[in-house]
């Protein structure tokens, strides 16, 4: 999240979303054109492009989809499967879905870039199951991403992986986390 929030791609998307404010700041007289039909279409086109660009980098098997990266990190521990990482905390074993990490990232980075929360959730609904919507447990992970952004903004330097795991375990009943036996 630290890397992606400061990336060239995040800045480009943020700039697309803020085109109206930027034009008004740069030249209030020229910005009057934004209120014409053509100006409104230009601003809307920029917002649609920003959504498309975001989807192209965060969707499944795209550069910001963390599931494959996480899978590559953990198999040597002998604890993980293609969909879950096993985590030991206070002598208890938990299986944490890789989707949690990606959904937290999606909520955090999406809000940091400037997308509205409701728009991110609708996008997740559509991407996952279309009409039927996203899994409520995935939505809970997205909410954690929003909360992280609200708490830390773009300064995650003082936020640790241990803190994130604590948040996940505190919310385990709302997320794709299972307590398992040590077999």
Positive or negative: CA dihedral 136, 90, 98, 54: positive
Residue with tokens 């992606």: 4
Q: Give the model's pLDDT for residue 52.
A: 86
Of 12, 35, 34, the C-alpha closest to 114 is 12
Assign 182 to helix, strand or coil.
coil
Those residues with Cβ within 8 angstroms of residue 24's Cβ, 6 or more apart along the chain or in another chain: 31, 34
Under the banding of pLDDT at 50, 70 and 90, the label for residue 98 is confident
Query: pTM higher than 0.85, yes or no?
Result: no
The string of pLDDT tens digits covering residues 23-65 is: 666 665 565 666 677 766 776 777 888 888 988 888 888 888 8
The whole-number pLDDT of residue 35 equals 67
């Amino acid at each position: 999240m630290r890397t992606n929030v400061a990336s060239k791609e995040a800045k480009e998307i943020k700039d697309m979303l803020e085109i109206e404010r930027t034009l008004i700041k740069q030249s209030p007289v020229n910005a009057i054109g934004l209120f014409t039909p053509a100006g409104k279409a230009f601003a809307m086109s920029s917002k649609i492009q920003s959504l498309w660009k975001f989807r192209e980098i965060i969707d499944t098997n795209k550069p910001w989809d963390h599931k494959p990266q996480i899978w590559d990190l953990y198999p040597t521990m002998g604890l993980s499967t293609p969909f879950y990482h096993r985590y030991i905390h206070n002598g208890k074993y938990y299986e944490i879905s890789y989707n949690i990490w990606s959904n937290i990232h999606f909520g955090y980075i999406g809000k940091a870039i400037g997308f509205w929360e409701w728009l991110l959730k609708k996008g997740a609904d559509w991407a996952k199951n279309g009409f039927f919507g996203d899994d409520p447990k995935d939505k809970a992970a997205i909410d954690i991403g929003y909360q992280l952004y609200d708490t830390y903004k773009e300064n995650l330097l003082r936020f640790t992986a241990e803190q994130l795991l604590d948040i996940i375990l505190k919310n385990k009943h709302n997320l794709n986390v299972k307590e398992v036996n040590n077999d």
